[in-house]
Amino acid sequence: MIELIRLSDPVLLQILSDTLEEKNILFRIDNSGMNALMPLPSVMDARVLVAEDDFKAAELILIDLELN
């Protein structure tokens, strides 16, 4: 698994997650919700990891969603 992006916005995280799932891209989200437990923003952003084979397709999704 390769890190695709780090996000602190739960809405953007959900949109990205839904899109990756819809496109059948193998992914995992680490630290989801952890930023809510930390007193400072972006100390513990959610990390979106994708399978190495799906990385290029996932990057195109980031571009489409204007998250790059």
Q: What is the pLDDT of residues 11-54, one digit of tens each?
A: 899 999 999 999 999 999 988 765 555 555 556 788 999 999 99
- C-alpha distances (whole Å) from 39 to each of 7, 28, 30, 42 are 16, 25, 19, 9
Distances in whole angstroms, Cα of residue 37 to Cα of each of 3, 7, 59: 22, 15, 29
pTM for the model = 0.82
Of residues 28 and 8, the one with the higher pLDDT is 28
Give me the architecture of the 2-64 domain, per CATH: 2-Layer Sandwich (3.30)
Domain ranges, ordered by start, for the chain:
2-64
Higher-confidence residue of 44 and 58: namely 58
